[in-house]
Amino acid sequence: MPQYIMAIDQGTTGTTVAIVDQSGFIVDKVNNEYPQIYPQPGWVEHNPEDIWHSVTKTIGEVLKKSGINPKEIATIGITNQRETSLIWSRYTNQTIYNAIVWQCRRTTDFCNKLKKSGKGKIINKKTGLVLDPYFSATKFRWILDHVKGARKLAATGELACGTIDSFLLWRLTDGEVHATDVSNASRTMLMNIDSGEWDAELLKIFSVPKNMLPEIRPSSGEFGCTLNVPGLPDGIPISGIAGDQQAALFGQACFAAGDAKCTFGTGSFLLMNTGSKRVKSKSGILTTVAWQLKNDKKLTYALEGGAFICGAAVQWLRDGMKMISSSSGVESLAQEVSDSGGVEFVPALTGLGAPYWDAEARGMICGLTRGSTRAHLARATLDAMALQNLDILSAMQKDLGKKLKSLKVDGGATSNNLLMQLQADYLGQSISRPKMIESTVLGAAYLAGLGAGFWKNQSEIKKVWQLDQDFKPKISSKARIARVKSWHAAISRARS
């Protein structure tokens, strides 16, 4: 009898596939990275076939590693890098251009034109989002405008578009299903966040034909079944889909209004569950759909703030600067010094996200002296990762009019104890790390498990969550204020 959930986490730099048992624990997991493509400064792409190959390869490897028979997989959950956009042929299954990644800034000029024409307020009202190249709508438009014959093909109904979840669902079902869930749809800048449906006015603003778009469905429920997938039998139901940050919120069991988490991944993302209430931000924070469960007509909303570069800054130290041989090496290097020695690193390598939303900002290292070392830059990098989150949380608390009591953290970088302590110090509040830090992939598994009947409700899932360690602030308010002041001075220089 099938007894396991397979969770596919298709991320920005790699794909993780995990096997989760009926008690909600990860039996085994495998990750494979794939190439990043940078055609021009500020542009980021992925080869869609690299993405698909990473998924099928990782599926095969995790089944082999775990020793689990594919026939024992009861259901599949998908979570994905959000906003990354693709357009493909319904007839050949081939994309007409590379995937344009969420980090890509190529549509900055078009966004600026829309802002000048006064469209920003309309878009924000309908979507809860800030007009920025980050989101999918301008990426779809760019592909349609820059690939010869694309608009003509779109008009005939030959082309389909979507975010990574839709692309994977299409491939997993061999072209039988073109759908997305509400959480991913809410990140396209084409869905009305109140109705949960594609918005005609938004489609017109961005010149995206409705016939290209996937059907919007709840995050937990029926999406289709596997068909002709290498290494998997036909007929395995896919019963859960959510964007990676919403999946992490679900995986952290943040089911009540006011519950919040921060995921440390390629970027860092703070989300707070606001329940069925849509909270409108005045501080540069986004309103987004967290999820919608099977047979539930109501949407669950969240406030969100994201920094585009978090773990990617460490990868840059590793791959670009050759300062460390592995990402985990940044902690020991940073521990060689007691502080950054006045060095500031603003990791605006693809612009600044919340709460600044400055697509033109670029990375900056300042405060260097003759005494500065690799260790100081490593420490400044960890500081920046934590301080970006402070800016986001401060804006979020301003919108809410109250301070958070605690924050749950997850993602690979949370294994860095120094980073976690710095985060608690700069936030000035306790943060909680769970025993299972793979909250994104767990969220996909939990949503799929609910959809397939593994668990009856969220209360059963909440019992699975277990605390590993609380990190409490250790520095004085005076030291915190001084450190934040220096950081904000560096931010100002990076934006000038």
Task: Kindly state the average pLDDT of the residues 488-493.
Answer: 94
Task: Kindly state the average pLDDT of the residues 165-188.
Answer: 97
Inform me whether the pLDDT recorded for 308 exceeds 90.
no
The continuous run of DSSP H or E covering 59 comes out as helix 48-66
Every domain of the chain and the residues it spans: 4-246
Q: Kindly indicate the confidence band of residue 262, based on its pLDDT and cuts at 50, 70 and 90.
A: very high
Q: What count of other Cβ atoms lies within 10 Å of the Cβ of residue 347?
A: 24
Q: What is the pTM of this model?
A: 0.87
For CA atoms 130, 132, 136, 137, the dihedral sign is positive
Burial of 261 (0-12, 13-18, 19+ CB in 10 A): buried
Inform me whether the pLDDT recorded for 258 exceeds 90.
no
Most confident range, picked from 111-120, 139-148, 327-336: 139-148
Question: Which tens digit of pLDDT belongs to each residue from 192-244?
Answer: 999 999 999 999 999 999 999 999 999 999 999 999 999 999 999 999 999 99
Judge contact between 183 and 290, C-beta under 8 A: yes
> Which bin fits 221, alpha (ψ -120 to 50), beta or left (φ > 0)?
left
Inform me whether the pLDDT recorded for 245 exceeds 60.
yes
Please give the pLDDT value at position 306.
85
Domain range 4-246, CATH architecture: 2-Layer Sandwich (3.30)
Q: Kindly indicate the confidence band of residue 401, based on its pLDDT and cuts at 50, 70 and 90.
A: confident
Q: Please state the φ and ψ torsions of residue 412, each to the nearest 5 degrees.
A: -55, -40
Question: Which tens digit of pLDDT belongs to each residue from 33-91?
Answer: 999 999 998 899 999 999 999 999 999 999 999 999 999 999 999 999 999 999 999 99
Please give the pLDDT value at position 165.
97
Please give the pLDDT value at position 22.
85
Please give the pLDDT value at position 281.
84
Please give the pLDDT value at position 479.
94
Q: Kindly indicate the confidence band of residue 265, based on its pLDDT and cuts at 50, 70 and 90.
A: confident
Task: Report the percentage of the chain scoring pLDDT > 90.
Answer: 74
Question: Which tens digit of pLDDT belongs to each residue from 458-469?
Answer: 988 988 888 999
Cis amide bond preceding 355, omega within 30: yes
Inform me whether the pLDDT recorded for 107 exceeds 80.
yes
Task: Kindly state the average pLDDT of the residues 330-346.
Answer: 95
Q: Kindly indicate the confidence band of residue 310, based on its pLDDT and cuts at 50, 70 and 90.
A: confident
Inform me whether the pLDDT recorded for 103 exceeds 90.
no
Closest by CA to 202, choosing from 194, 193, 192, 211, is 192
Please give the pLDDT value at position 167.
97
Inform me whether the pLDDT recorded for 405 exceeds 80.
no
The pair of three-digit structure tokens given for residue 156, joined into one six-digit string: 């005939």
- Residue 367 to residues 182, 332, 370, 490: CA-CA distances in angstroms? 44, 22, 10, 9
Please give the pLDDT value at position 444.
96
The distance of Cα 252 from the centroid of its chain, to the nearest Å, equals 15
Q: Distance between CA atoms of 291 and 164, rounded to whole angstroms?
A: 17
The distance of Cα 391 from the centroid of its chain, to the nearest Å, equals 18
Q: Distance between CA atoms of 7 and 20, rounded to whole angstroms?
A: 7
Please give the pLDDT value at position 488.
96
C-beta contacts of 256-260 below 8 A and 24+ residues apart: 258/404, 259/408, 260/404, 260/407, 260/408
Inform me whether the pLDDT recorded for 1 exceeds 60.
no
Inform me whether the pLDDT recorded for 443 exceeds 90.
yes
